[in-house]
Amino acid sequence: MAIEHTAMLSRVAASIYWMSRYVERVENIARFIDVNLHLMLDLPVDTRQQWEPLVTVTGDHELFAGRHGEPSRDNVIEFLTFDAQYGNSIVSCLRKARENARSVREVISSEMWECVNEFYLFVTSAAARASAYNDPHSFFNTVKLSSQKFVGIGDGTMSHGEGWHFLRLGGFIERAEKTSRIVDVKFFILLPRVEYVGTPYDSIQWAAVLKSASALEMYRKRYHRISLKQVVDFLVLNRQFPRAIRYCLVAAEESLHAITSSPPGTFSNEAERRLGRLRAELDYSDIDEILEPGLHAYLDSLQTKLNAVDDAVFNTFFALRPPGSGT
């Protein structure tokens, strides 16, 4: 797809891209909450200390405090899941994904539309709201599976042309960013006290992080014990695990080059240049280089670069923002 899109083609591409990002974001919010639910079962920490980091990492702590008060389990679940006035809640993201899907129904398959519509209706139903508080593990697992179902239906029913590559590009950029945040919250915020580092509590937390990324089983097949260095290596630099940041960037770059028809290893626009540079940085990094300056500093820089990639995708391909678009 050349850069000189018509406004209509740009609108369609942008809607597909953001539809994918929002569905992926929903899954990762559910994963984010689920890791905390697992940690609550195993660690002796007070409620505020356990739930406040999930609000802090959103950057919307003041908004939360003004609307919900103390960061209890139910208040945080309400904010991140059902608060329709919070733009990055699960229900808000699904509403925007549904709006984008409706605007491109002529491009996506009917099965994709039905899936995202049913997903939205499930989350907005009163029964789902009650389930989120009474049986949160089951509710958030259903959310994760529904997101995965949408991705699978897209892969299986949509022609693998330009539209599908925009779908894939958006999903993998979003997934890379959210995997970095899951790791960052554990390392920078969730650990209750410095003296826990290297203790069984530390291992329990890293195991919960792996579970939140559906990575524990695959990690165990590669490593025999849980350690900071190996967990970060697996979730950041692994070439084969589909939620690892490096894997996501490689897949996103493949779709970007498929859209532009630029040969791999070259760039014809700013999006390709930024994504290619970031992917190359991970290709030639090792875990000691990542940990040496501090994991939080590294991940914070990575998130900034991912945001720059998204900005470049917008400037390169999209003439206007689709309904409900934006971070």
Kindly report, residue by residue over 234-272, the tens digit of the pLDDT.
999 999 999 999 999 999 999 999 999 999 888 999 999
Classify residue 128: in a domain, yes or no.
Answer: yes
* Spatial contact of 210 and 216, defined as CB atoms under 8 Å apart: yes
Domain enclosing residue 261, as ranges: 7-317
Q: Which of residues 45 and 177 earns the better pLDDT score?
A: 177
Kindly report the number of other CB atoms within 10 A of residue 207's CB atom. Answer: 20
CA distance 202 to 196: 6
CA distance 309 to 313: 6
Which residues, 6+ apart, have CB-to-CB distance to 169 below 8 Å? Answer: 17, 20, 252, 255, 256, 259, 313
Q: What is the 3-state secondary structure (H, E, C) of 85-101?
A: CCCCCHHHHHHHHHHHH
For the chain, how many structural domains are there in total?
A: 1
Q: Which tens digit of pLDDT belongs to each residue from 14-50?
A: 999 999 999 999 999 998 888 788 777 766 555 556 7
Classify residue 226: in a domain, yes or no.
Answer: yes
| End-to-end CA separation in angstroms for the chain | 24
Classify residue 324: in a domain, yes or no.
Answer: no
Please determine, for residue 158, whether its predicted confidence score (pLDDT) is greater than 50: yes
User: pLDDT band at residue 4, thresholds of 50, 70 and 90?
Assistant: very low
Closest CA to 309 of 286, 268, 279: 279
Q: Which tens digit of pLDDT belongs to each residue from 199-232?
A: 666 777 788 888 888 899 999 999 988 888 999 9
Classify residue 49: in a domain, yes or no.
Answer: yes
CA distance 257 to 250: 11
Classify residue 268: in a domain, yes or no.
Answer: yes
Q: What is the DSSP string of 84-146?
A: TTSTTSHHHHHHHHHHHHHHTTTTS-HHHHHHHHHHHHHHHSHHHHHHHHHSHHHHHHHHHHH
Classify residue 327: in a domain, yes or no.
Answer: no
Please determine, for residue 2, whether its predicted confidence score (pLDDT) is greater than 70: no
Flag whether the pTM goes above 0.75: yes
Classify residue 98: in a domain, yes or no.
Answer: yes
In the predicted model, what is the mean pLDDT of residues 107-112?
Answer: 97
* Spatial contact of 225 and 63, defined as CB atoms under 8 Å apart: no
Please determine, for residue 5, whether its predicted confidence score (pLDDT) is greater than 70: no
Classify residue 1: in a domain, yes or no.
Answer: no
User: pLDDT band at residue 114, thresholds of 50, 70 and 90?
Assistant: very high
